[in-house]
Amino acid sequence: MDESIRYHLLKQIEQNPGITQRELSKKAGISLGKTNYCLNALIEKGLIKASNFKNSKNRTAYLYKLTPKGMEEKARVTVRFLRRKMQEFDALEKEIEELRAEVDELQGDSSKLEAQS
């Protein structure tokens, strides 16, 4: 399972234990089938527990809860996710600086050409 998906699923479950698989799939940007697969993997690894209950429509629903092991894993995944996003941000900042310099250079060249005309 992709680290980003793991981060988003654990975060959403921690914030809203009664979240449905459909809502999780939308928030994580993955298919419902993949969400089900990932939740089962998290359950097998002992990171979350699922218990069923009757919702307001008298249908069976699941309540997801992070286990103590899941809370530890969420903390580790969050740190790694933040590091990766900071690296991406730094790389993006550098690329923006390079593009600005290129645009400034191109604008300077076009000004020189206009002056020569």
At residue 58, the pLDDT reads: 62
Tell me the mean pLDDT in the region 86-108. 94
Residue 101 has pLDDT above 80, yes or no: yes
CA atoms of 44 and 31, how far apart (whole Å): 20
Residue 18 has pLDDT above 70, yes or no: yes
Task: Using a pLDDT cut of 90, give the percent of the chain over it.
Answer: 74
At residue 94, the pLDDT reads: 97
Query: In sequence order, what are the residues at sequence separation of 6 or more whose Cβ sits closer than 8 angstroms to the Cβ of residue 28?
Result: 5, 8, 9, 12, 35
Domain 3-85 has CATH 3.30.465.10: no
Residue 105 has pLDDT above 70, yes or no: yes
Task: Render the chain in DSSP notation, one character per residue.
Answer: --HHHHHHHHHHHHH-TT--HHHHHHHHTS-HHHHHHHHHHHHHTTSEEEEEEE-TTS-EEEEEEE-HHHHHHHHHHHHHHHHHHHHHHHHHHHHHHHHHHHHHHHHHHHHHHHHH-
Ranges of each domain in the chain: 3-85
Residue 96 has pLDDT above 90, yes or no: yes
Tell me which of 28-32, 57-61, 95-99 is least confident.
Answer: 57-61
Confidence category of residue 52, pLDDT binned at 50, 70, 90: confident
